Chains A and B, each alone.
Chain A
Amino acid sequence: MIRFLLKGLIRDRTRSLFPTLVVLVGVALTVFLFNWINGVKNNFIQVNAKFNTGHMKIMSRAYAAEADQIPNDLALEGIEGLLLNLKEDFPDVIWTPRIRFGGLLDIPDEQGETRTQGPVVGLAVDLFSASSPERNLLNLENAVVRGRLPEEPGEILISDEFAHQLNIQPGEIATLISSTMYGSMATANFTVVGTIRFGVAAMDRGAMLAEVSDIQFALDMPDTAGEIVGLFSDFLYSNEKSEEITSTFNTRYMKTDDEFSPVMTTLRNQGGLAEYFDMVSSVSNAAIIIFIMAMSIVLWNAGLMGNLRRYGEIGARLALGEDKGHIYRSMIAESLMIGCIGSVLGTALGLAISYYLQVRGINISFLARDASMMVSNVWRAQVTPASYIIGFIPGLLATFLGTSISGIGIYRRQTSTLMKELET
């Protein structure tokens, strides 16, 4: 009997092939959209974490209060000791010091006169120490456009865009004019050894990347840094975990009576990201839910229509003595099979597209050129474990429910009414 019904199902393409295709397409779209939204959202979090906020950031309390003004006069002192403690207390987290600074970059000509100059936003990171995570965090190897990475003290990178604007070539000398931690003027000479492009518009405008110890020396900040960022070694942000570490750290190190004592802040709680994240989350969740619902309705109807169309066949089967319950169950089994096959294939297709766009990405730099937020220029899909099951909600559940509910018609309708429909 089962073989007989399967035979019919396979032969009748309007019952097997087409519904399967509808499910397949709907599921593929759902899976892809889910991955795309997740990818963009997580990419945004990751770019922020790596370039700016870390998953947690430690600053002095005073610095933290005005962090957006980069108040290096309030920077955190005694970072060597603090870093050692951090590595001991929280070994699963990557900790690294950074100094942000502003200034003027001056390029002299042969005579030592200013050939060109421009304002820079500087970032000083640990470039040289063996255990430095920065090459990886900032993806430096790939960010180099011209020249090379710094290898010696006194070597810096500047953003490629900036280099083009000021017509600076790798190998040229540049003088940074800034102010020391104590407010007096600071000048230091560097060699520009390369240009970089991070692919994050906010980072690629007038940026200078230097070794942290060089900047400590230049700005008179020994054993001092604006911030220490911490990232989980899997680079995945977990709000609970960072909250936990943050509160442990703050009870241990923060002193309410000392505004230069360190304070730790989670990624979420920096620079209005909380509101932004909540908004992105609710918008993306809403989009995903609406989409899944829309797909569910489409697939539901596919299940429904399929059965309405089949009242004729069902009437004939009833007349031949098949029990209503048996027909109902066979219809549900059929829809489950189609839902299953369609969902598996659709998930495979959706994942394939997602993987492609996870590797390839779509360049949206034309949109992000003026963005002040940390948004990557290349948006990518992201495949997560949930990607493998999300498609089954519309694919299997909706098809199944659609069939179950439309099938109730078989029970509710008088058999003779079904027969009548079969005659038309």
Chain B
Amino acid sequence: MENGYLIKTENLVKTYPMGYGSLVALNRVNLAFQKGEFAGLVGPSGSGKTTLLNIIGSLDVPTEGSTMVLGEKIESLSHKKAAHLRNQHIGFIFQTFNLLPVYTVFENVEFPLLLLGMPAEERKNTVMKALEWVHLADRAKSKPAQLSGGESQRVAIARAIVKEPEIMLADEPTANLDAENSHNILQIMERLNKELSTTFIFATHDEKVMHYLRRKITLVDGAVAKDEILKPQQGGGEN
């Protein structure tokens, strides 16, 4: 990757109009992430964690500054290009799972591959492999409503990793889970990070998540207040 960075933000500013003035959600954020990181954005509610994740994930555009993701300038991408980038290279995991309720577990995981235009046979194998990763191969035919929260989040992980993206963005992935399920999915994500060198960026309040993080970035009022390395980087990244 360019300069060895997978993701690099420069003087990122995001403001929302508020009454007569504006609310500063992100204030001159300069951050860079390398391949294979397992990093977390922490900080009080409203500090801009979700906003930053959304911009990195090309779901949102900054008001000022720039974001390079995998060599693409996010703010200048067309809708189509941004969608393509998300589809091929970025996986999202949300607090609320956001499974498509009318589709089975298998179909939910299949959806990103359909967007990629993968042929049926290959699709089936790929989906089953992803479900095995999250130990849910036997629930392929279930509907989301029949799953527990932990299982739902594991399906969401399978859906996010099925296309083996370089980057996974997880916004409060454990907020709706109990301790056991939280550790369960964090272990899965740690394993993905180790075996596939997938880069993980979390936004979280959760102490449990922090134990797994190797890098912790603290946001306060939209600005980076602290950026700490907690554990040495995992091998697998080229830097």
Residue of A nearest to B93 (CB): A319
Task: Say yes or no: is A325 at the interface (Cβ < 8 Å to chain B).
Answer: yes
Decide: A319 and B92 in contact? CB cutoff 8 A: yes
Task: Say yes or no: is A323 at the interface (Cβ < 8 Å to chain B).
Answer: yes
Of A240-248, A290-298, A352-360, A415-423, the stretch lying at the interface with chain B is: A415-423
Task: Give the shortest distance, in Å, between B67 (CB) and chain A (any CB).
Answer: 13
Contact of A321 among B60, B86, B96, B110 (CB under 8 A): B86
Interface of chain A residues 214 through 269 with chain B (CB within 8 A): none
Decide: A416 and B59 in contact? CB cutoff 8 A: yes
Contact of A422 among B51, B96, B159 (CB under 8 A): B96
Given contacts A11-B102, A423-B96, contact A416 B83 (CB under 8 A): no
Decide: B114 and A416 in contact? CB cutoff 8 A: no
Q: What CA separation (Å) do A416 and B59 show in the bound complex? A: 5
Interface of chain A residues 309 through 343 with chain B (CB within 8 A): 312-313, 315-326
Decide: A325 and B102 in contact? CB cutoff 8 A: no
The proximity string for B residues 105-117 relative to A, scoring 1 for CB distances below 8 Å and 0 otherwise, is 0010011101100
Task: Give the shortest distance, in Å, between B116 (CB) and chain A (any CB).
Answer: 8
Given contacts A320-B115, A321-B112, A416-B54, contact A8 B102 (CB under 8 A): yes
Decide: B92 and A320 in contact? CB cutoff 8 A: yes
Interface of chain A residues 295 through 313 with chain B (CB within 8 A): 312-313
Contact of B83 among A4, A321, A414, A422 (CB under 8 A): A321
Contact of A8 among B84, B86, B103, B112 (CB under 8 A): B103
Decide: B54 and A323 in contact? CB cutoff 8 A: no
Residue of B nearest to A424 (CB): B96
Task: Say yes or no: is B79 at the interface (Cβ < 8 Å to chain A).
Answer: yes
Task: Give the shortest distance, in Å, between B64 (CB) and chain A (any CB).
Answer: 16
Decide: B59 and A320 in contact? CB cutoff 8 A: no
Task: Say yes or no: is B95 at the interface (Cβ < 8 Å to chain A).
Answer: yes
Decide: A320 and B94 in contact? CB cutoff 8 A: no
Task: Give the shortest distance, in Å, between B175 (CB) and chain A (any CB).
Answer: 10
Interface of chain B residues 68 through 115 with chain A (CB within 8 A): 79-80, 83-88, 90, 92, 94-96, 98-103, 107, 110-112, 114-115
Decide: B86 and A320 in contact? CB cutoff 8 A: yes
Task: Say yes or no: is B36 at the interface (Cβ < 8 Å to chain A).
Answer: no
Task: Say yes or no: is B43 at the interface (Cβ < 8 Å to chain A).
Answer: no
Task: Give the shortest distance, in Å, between A383 (CB) and chain B (any CB).
Answer: 39
Decide: B83 and A323 in contact? CB cutoff 8 A: yes
Task: Say yes or no: is A84 at the interface (Cβ < 8 Å to chain B).
Answer: no
Interface of chain B residues 48 through 64 with chain A (CB within 8 A): 51, 54, 57, 59-61
Size band of the B side of the interface? Answer: 20 to 34
Residue of B nearest to A326 (CB): B83
Task: Say yes or no: is A164 at the interface (Cβ < 8 Å to chain B).
Answer: no
Decide: A415 and B100 in contact? CB cutoff 8 A: no
Number of A interface residues, CB 8 Å? 26
Instruction: Please indicate the chain B residues that have their CB under 8 angstroms from the CB of A415 in the complex.
Output: 54, 59-60
Given contacts A416-B54, A422-B96, A423-B96, contact A322 B102 (CB under 8 A): no
Task: Say yes or no: is A12 at the interface (Cβ < 8 Å to chain B).
Answer: yes
Task: Give the shortest distance, in Å, between B81 (CB) and chain A (any CB).
Answer: 9
Q: What CA separation (Å) do A414 and B85 show in the bound complex? A: 17
Given contacts A4-B107, A422-B98, contact A321 B54 (CB under 8 A): no
Instruction: Please indicate the chain A residues that have their CB under 8 angstroms from the CB of B99 in the complex.
Output: 316
Given contacts A1-B114, A320-B115, contact A419 B83 (CB under 8 A): no
Instruction: Please indicate the chain A residues that have their CB under 8 angstroms from the CB of B103 in the complex.
Output: 7-8, 11
Q: What CA separation (Å) do A8 and B99 show in the bound complex? A: 13
Residue of A nearest to B116 (CB): A321
Task: Give the shortest distance, in Å, between A4 (CB) and chain B (any CB).
Answer: 6
Decide: B94 and A423 in contact? CB cutoff 8 A: yes
Decide: A320 and B112 in contact? CB cutoff 8 A: yes
Instruction: Please indicate the chain A residues that have their CB under 8 angstroms from the CB of B90 in the complex.
Output: 321
Decide: A325 and B98 in contact? CB cutoff 8 A: no
Contact of B59 among A319, A322, A325 (CB under 8 A): A319
Task: Give the shortest distance, in Å, between A347 (CB) and chain B (any CB).
Answer: 29
Instruction: Please indicate the chain B residues that have their CB under 8 angstroms from the CB of A1 in the complex.
Output: 114-115
Q: What CA separation (Å) do A423 and B54 show in the bound complex? A: 13
Decide: B83 and A312 in contact? CB cutoff 8 A: no
Interface of chain A residues 133 through 172 with chain B (CB within 8 A): none
Interface-central residue, A312, A313, A321, A422, by most chain B CB under 10 Å = A321
Q: What CA separation (Å) do A8 and B107 show in the bound complex? A: 10
Residue of B nearest to A16 (CB): B102
Instruction: Please indicate the chain A residues that have their CB under 8 angstroms from the CB of B159 in the complex.
Output: 320
Residue of A nearest to B59 (CB): A415
Instruction: Please indicate the chain A residues that have their CB under 8 angstroms from the CB of B110 in the complex.
Output: 4
Contact of B80 among A7, A325, A414, A423 (CB under 8 A): A325
Given contacts A7-B103, A8-B103, contact A318 B98 (CB under 8 A): no
Some 13 contacts from A to B, beta carbons below 8 A apart, are: A7-B107, A8-B102, A11-B103, A313-B100, A319-B86, A319-B92, A320-B86, A321-B112, A414-B60, A416-B59, A416-B60, A422-B96, A423-B95
Q: Other than the known A312-B98, A323-B83, what 7 A-B pairs have Cβ atoms closer than 8 Å?
A: A11-B102, A318-B59, A319-B94, A321-B84, A321-B87, A323-B84, A416-B60
Chain B interface (Cβ < 8 Å from any Cβ of A):
51, 54, 57, 59-61, 79-80, 83-88, 90, 92, 94-96, 98-103, 107, 110-112, 114-115, 159
Closest 4 CB pairs of A and B: A321-B87, A416-B60, A323-B83, A321-B86
